Amino acid sequence: MSILPKSVTNLIEEFARLPGVGPKTAARLVFYLLSKPADDIERLGKAVSALKKDLTQCGVCFNYAEKNPCAICANNERNKKLIAVVEEPLDIVAIEKTGFDGLYHVLGGVISPIHGVGPEDIRIDQLIHRVREGKVKIEEIILATNPSLEGEATAMYIHQQLSSEPVKITRLARGLPVGGDLEYADEATLSRALEGRKEY
């Protein structure tokens, strides 16, 4: 690659650091940009550089925000008695699309002994504090961590920690994904779908 101009190899290396972007994809992206007008490239560069400027963290839900509290926590039309507990801010984007109108709590990870992440490393204490000391009485906590081993363990741990509080604790349903094919469903998912069957 030494035959490429330095600015080109430099950006290929930077792009290749991104998750899911290998050196070939990175090269393709850079050559695509090279074929674009300088203004388009400059706009992308500025958008990257500006990403974290004026960005703060919401002191209530710990999502990325422009103000503290964030637009969701400050919105009085949302149901403040309902909190969805998620692993990462990106999960909020997915849940928002469903029309969910409660608030969120971003854990900032999952309990994972293998990676040296204990309960004290994610925002479980802050969640308990919200339940106990919050201005609005919370009625339901939806544990919306991923349906992975670590997500399940984290949900179970939080459930235990909150069991003595007068709050309803629920977990996202597991079952067949909509549009999925029974034939290709894995055993664990199909077992969960049977367990959680509903009357027609």
Q: Which of residues 86-115 bind a copy of itself (CB under 8 A)?
A: 88-90, 92-93, 96
- Looking at residue 108, its amino acid is G
Asked if residue 42 binds a copy of itself (CB under 8 A), the reply is yes
Rounded to an integer, what distance in angstroms lies between the CA atom of residue 128 and that of residue 80?
15
Report the DSSP pairing between strands 64-65 and 56-57: antiparallel
Q: Considering Cα of 115, then 130, then 142, then 167, what sign does the dihedral take?
A: positive
Whole-number minimum distance, CB 147 to a copy of itself, in Å?
A: 18
- Contact map string, positions 63 to 82, toward a copy of itself, x by CB under 8 A: -xxx---xxx----------
The DSSP code for 168 is E
Whole-number minimum distance, CB 197 to a copy of itself, in Å?
A: 30
Whole-number minimum distance, CB 31 to a copy of itself, in Å?
A: 4
User: Which residues pair with residue 141 across a beta bridge?
Assistant: 83, 169
Whole-number minimum distance, CB 99 to a copy of itself, in Å?
A: 12
Q: Can you list the positions of beta strands (E) in the chain?
A: 56-57, 64-65, 79-86, 102-106, 140-143, 168-171
Q: Which residue number, 28 or 174, has a Cβ lying nearer to a copy of itself?
A: 28
Q: Which residue number, 17 or 198, has a Cβ lying nearer to a copy of itself?
A: 17
Q: Which of 16, 28, 170, 189 binds a copy of itself (CB under 8 A)?
A: 28
Q: Which of 22, 41, 165, 180 binds a copy of itself (CB under 8 A)?
A: 41
Q: Measuring CA to CA, how many Å separate 33 from each of 3, 8, 17, 125, 182?
A: 18, 10, 17, 45, 42
Binding site for a copy of itself (CB under 8 A): 1, 3-8, 10-11, 14-15, 17-21, 25, 27-34, 38, 40-55, 64-66, 70-72, 88-90, 92-93, 96
